Structure 1
Amino acid sequence: MGAGFASTDRFLAELRSNKLRPGYVLVGDEIFLYERCRRAVLEVFVPADLRDFCLSDIDLAEMSIFEALDRAQTPSLMAPFQVLFIRNLKQLYTRGAKKEEFAAIDGYFRSPNPQAMLIFIADHLRIPSDPRRMDMTDKDRYERIRETLGDHCGIVELARVDESDALRWLLAEAEKQQIKLEQDAARELVDALGADMMLIASEFEKLSLYAGPKKLITLGDVETMVLAAKQRSLYELTDAISAKDKRRALALLAGLLNASDGGEDAAIGHLYMLARTFRQMLVILEKNVRDSRAIWQALWQGFRMPPFAAEDLIRQARRYKSKRELTRALRLIARADLELRSQPPDKKLVLERLVMDLASEPKPAQLLPSSTQYAMDL
């Protein structure tokens, strides 16, 4: 496997060993690898019956690093071990030097609580499958993280997965489940979904259920189950949202939810797909893409939609009057993502409220000036 898998594999091995570090930084925006790491942490350190006592999801946009460190240092009376996921790490690298904040972090790690583990999430960086092609801004951000946290924390790279690694993962997963996956079927699945691991894993799970006792997935199965389903679901939903058709958008969301298990991973997967599509529309609008031939130059490898969706997405993007409307949509999605991870009583209600907000005309106060980069970081 490639760089992204290698880094997460090392992290998963450390979780199951006695060489655990008091802190880690998950660097990169590859959500499939992030979810892989998070599930492993929960499996090893967070018993289901103690989750409320030993797991903290902290957003540095809402809680200071001082409060987060104080929580980590305070032993839990109800759980033997604490895990703190600390999101929005970029807050520590904006607006000033943050000398007091980094001094507090340094002080904590000089004498960390042995019954706690801090996991910082730096998903404001994008690490391509070939690190040599990393954007200079992201390189500078990465170096700053290494300088400030690298001595204390393990660095786990969540790099984008290239097509060859996605193909190897698919074939290995099929072998693990004792399913015969035809090579052409695996290649078609990867090509159709643009090496997007979150989508590939989700669609492979559906294909596995479809295969049933025969334990065989053919090229025809992929063409029938995946491509047609993709065309009917996600892009129809974003089409209804961009057309401000609330009734149709809610009906399409209900169809998506009925087709999935409705659990946390499925809900987060739907949000991820929405965020990715709106980010694609933002680039399309920013670069004034007008036809599908130009779209492949505007969107980089690993960030492209299936070919059948190109014209639809260009049409949808052009319904938005400005980039600020799309950055508003990304903020709404980010807020819903945080709410879902906070274990709400009704995940469906969170998604329905999001779709209603996305399909509503924004009020002037909601279109505050913001940079394109901020929206792309979400």
Structure 2
Amino acid sequence: MPPSLRSFASTDRFLAEIAAPSSIRPGYVLIGDEIFLYDRCRRAVLSTLIAADARDFSLHDLDLSETSIFEALDRAQTPSLMAPFQVFFLRNTKVLYGRGSKKEEFAAIDAYFRSPNPQALLIFVADHIRIPTDLRRMDYQDKERYERLRETLGDWCGIVELARVDENDAVRWITDTADSRGVRFDPDAARELADSLGADMMLIASEFEKLLLYAGARGTEEVAKNRVTLGDVETMVLAAKQRSLYELTDAISLRDRPRALALLHGLLNASDGGEDAAIGHLYMLARTFRQMLVIVEKNVRDSRAIWQALWQGFRMPPFAAEDLIRQARRYKSRRDLTRALRLIARADLELRSSPVSKVLVLERLVLDLCAEPKAAFYDSSLQFAMEL
């Protein structure tokens, strides 16, 4: 990992400390909900401090909502006959900061760290705190929790911030990691991958592996083997396809007909199924307008509230949240959005009735969606539009 990546600096320091026996501390606090960085720290601990054949005796994953801190500290203080070194991952650290003063608990922690077991390492996991890329935008409640952790555990433990990864650092990670594995990742492809996944490093890492496998197995006259292009990302990564869809709904919400038609044709040309992918695009349009309808009905104003308004399985990718809120607010009323859903339902009926040209059906739909609504009408045969 290149040391110049600012988003990885805290975990880089942690990895450097645990690699040197003289610099390792008796405890650490992993603060933040960035799963990719947490996984990076955990894998480094396992590979550096624990022998593979002794893992059953050396590694302990404890949940402080099920195991008291007193028991966890007692186990850490007791040398193991089966393992020369023990690591304790203590999850649900937020339990220590619940109701009550917790004086006895923190007194026990203080007593342990005054004379810690040199053959044990305690790692407190504080993933109930979200640390944004820009610390100035940190939620006030998260900031208070963070400061309390530093005040209570910071004297004894190293603080490791697992903050959200900056988008530019995510792009660098993609290109540098690909280079280290003998694959060229085009800069515009890396940017598209990071943008389309909202710099979510777990998703990026997963899609990155798929793209590397795809590039390694492919070799044509047009595209060299072991090279990932922008076209590969747009073809293989679902979120990249969804980006174009949100650009289409953005043009529709602005009543920009020329741009909307151009984006529609771009979507169809980029689809593996071409014109036959029309039903899939229609489904995604219906889903997006339903999301906007919920946003309007629940008066969602920011991306944090959107995750409460939209249920699991009905949420958009992180990168699209702010865009979709902005698009939804361009519609004057709930009636405008239900009208759009009825128009989509009508197009769905036409597509399923074997029309002469599916492209013409979609073009007419986009033009109708861009048009200013006329007098309200109701057609009971299109009631199922809300179910799309």
Instruction: Give the TM interval when normalised to the shorter protein.
Output: 0.5 to 0.7
Q: State the one-letter code of the partner of 2:166.
A: D
Q: Equivalent residue for 1:289?
A: 295
Matched, 1:12 2:15: yes
Q: CA deviation at 1:305?
A: 2.9
Quote the Cα distance in structure 1 between the aligned partners of 2:303 and 2:153: 34
Q: CA deviation at 1:10?
A: 0.5
Q: CA deviation at 1:183?
A: 0.8
Q: State the one-letter code of the partner of 1:17.
A: A
Question: Contact 1:3 / 1:159 at 8 angstroms: preserved in 2?
Answer: no
Please give the per-residue CA displacement for 1:60-99, whole angstroms capped at 9, x wherever unaligned: 0000000000010111111110000000000000111100
CA 89–187 in structure 1, closer or farther in 2 if over 3 Å, else same: same
For residue 118 of structure 1, give the secondary structure of its aligned residue in structure 2: strand
Q: CA deviation at 1:166?
A: 0.8
Q: Equivalent residue for 2:350?
A: none
Q: State the one-letter code of the partner of 1:113.
A: N
Quote the Cα distance in structure 2 between the aligned partners of 1:133 and 1:112: 37
Q: Equivalent residue for 1:106?
A: 110
Return the match for 1:177 from 174, 177, 181.
181
Matches within 5 A, 1:190-209: 190-209=194-213
Matched, 1:227 2:238: yes
Quote the Cα distance in structure 2 between the aligned partners of 1:228 and 1:94: 38
Q: State the one-letter code of the partner of 2:10.
A: S
Q: Equivalent residue for 2:341?
A: none
Matched, 1:50 2:51: no
Q: State the one-letter code of the partner of 2:216.
A: G
Paired residues, number: 256
For residue 126 of structure 1, give the secondary structure of its aligned residue in structure 2: coil
Question: Contact 1:181 / 1:217 at 8 angstroms: preserved in 2?
Answer: yes
Quote the Cα distance in structure 1 between the aligned partners of 2:232 and 2:41: 30
Return the match for 2:303 from 283, 298, 303.
298
Q: Equivalent residue for 1:118?
A: 122
For residue 289 of structure 1, give the secondary structure of its aligned residue in structure 2: helix
Question: Contact 2:130 / 2:142 at 8 angstroms: preserved in 1?
Answer: yes
Scaled by the length of structure 2, the TM-score of the pair is 0.61
Larger RCO (CA under 8 A, 6+ residues apart): 1
Please give the per-residue CA displacement for 1:95-115, whole angstroms capped at 9, x wherever unaligned: 111000000000000000000
Runs of 5+ unmatched residues, structure 2: 218-224, 243-290, 307-315, 325-388
Matches within 5 A, 1:83-94: 83-94=87-98
For residue 62 of structure 2, give the secondary structure of its aligned residue in structure 1: strand
Q: CA deviation at 1:307?
A: 4.2
Question: Contact 2:60 / 2:89 at 8 angstroms: preserved in 1?
Answer: yes
Please give the per-residue CA displacement for 1:191-210, whole angstroms capped at 9, x wherever unaligned: 11011000001110111111
Q: CA deviation at 1:190?
A: 0.7
Quote the Cα distance in structure 2 between the aligned partners of 1:96 and 1:230: 50
Q: CA deviation at 1:306?
A: 5.1
Quote the Cα distance in structure 1 between the aligned partners of 2:53 and 2:154: 33
Q: State the one-letter code of the partner of 2:184.
A: K
Q: CA deviation at 1:298?
A: 2.5
Please give the per-residue CA displacement for 1:242-261, whole angstroms capped at 9, x wherever unaligned: xxxxxxxxxxxxxxxxxxxx
Quote the Cα distance in structure 1 between the aligned partners of 2:35 and 2:239: 24
Quote the Cα distance in structure 2 between the aligned partners of 1:17 and 1:139: 31
Question: Contact 2:7 / 2:169 at 8 angstroms: preserved in 1?
Answer: no
Question: Contact 1:3 / 1:129 at 8 angstroms: preserved in 2?
Answer: no
Quote the Cα distance in structure 1 between the aligned partners of 2:166 and 2:305: 12
Scaled by the length of structure 1, the TM-score of the pair is 0.63
Q: CA deviation at 1:290?
A: 3.6
Runs of 5+ unmatched residues, structure 1: 232-283, 312-378
